[in-house]
Structure 1
């Protein structure tokens, strides 16, 4: 008796990332069928529709009526979505300080320096500096 090889599951979020990439590359809203075509028909239309519905429920895409169905658009670009996910994970933590400290301590030196530079550029002036 021959054994069937195990089914290879996709990494978590891979399908959502593929669908979002298709939406980011588009010049306007796409229907599920158009997303399916953009992905080279690797997924069934029903699968694409399910992914788009889940992304809409998560607030990652907006949708508008297009005939009997919907057309979808990304709400944020890739960097905005990453920032939103990071904030969402941070919001789940009871000890935000420890989570942030561990995040920073695990960054490569270049990323830590970039983060420090960004924070320095966005700091608000102190009361004494206002009006100078």
Structure 2
């Protein structure tokens, strides 16, 4: 974990900052550009490590650019949340029970929206 102003930041928080910088840019960015766009001052090696981890997780991709790589997100924030939901669903052997409990915990408005989306998908 990186230390910033005497505080320790979790890897997840830093990864989220990297993703936010890439989403805000709207185009592929070098590690140096990502580092400049981040709100917290990080070492070059920390940013490179974060980009490598996100790439290994399949959350960002890269292509040759300049003297190294340029990085870009594979999904927007909504797509990332959906990917996480799928990942959690895949981790349990009883998908039906997980889905049942998920639906049971939905608000009335969310349940109605889910029904609308499912009906729309059937068309």
For 1:87, the equivalent position in structure 2 comes to: 86
Cα distance in structure 2, aligned partners of 1:9 and 1:111: 36
Q: Secondary structure at the match of 1:65?
A: strand
For 1:118, the equivalent position in structure 2 comes to: 117
Instruction: Report Cα offsets for 1:57-109 as digits up to 9, x if no partner.
Output: 11111101123321101111111111111111111110000001111111222
- Normalised by the length of structure 2, the TM-score is 0.86
- Normalised by the length of structure 1, the TM-score is 0.80
Gap runs ≥5 in structure 1:
1-6, 125-132
Bigger fraction of residues in strand: 2
Distance 1:121 1:84, change over 3 A: same
For 1:28, the equivalent position in structure 2 comes to: 27
Q: Secondary structure at the match of 1:13?
A: helix
Give the drift of 1:10: 3.5
For 2:3, the equivalent position in structure 1 comes to: none
Distance 1:24 1:58, change over 3 A: same
2:33 is aligned with 1:53:
no
Give the drift of 1:27: 3.1
For 1:96, the equivalent position in structure 2 comes to: 95
Cα distance in structure 1, aligned partners of 2:11 and 2:109: 28
2:62 is aligned with 1:76:
no
Kindly tell me the number of residue pairs found equivalent between the two proteins: 118
Cα distance in structure 1, aligned partners of 2:84 and 2:15: 13
Cα distance in structure 1, aligned partners of 2:69 and 2:50: 13
Aligned-residue RMSD, C-alpha: 1.8
Give the drift of 1:55: 0.7
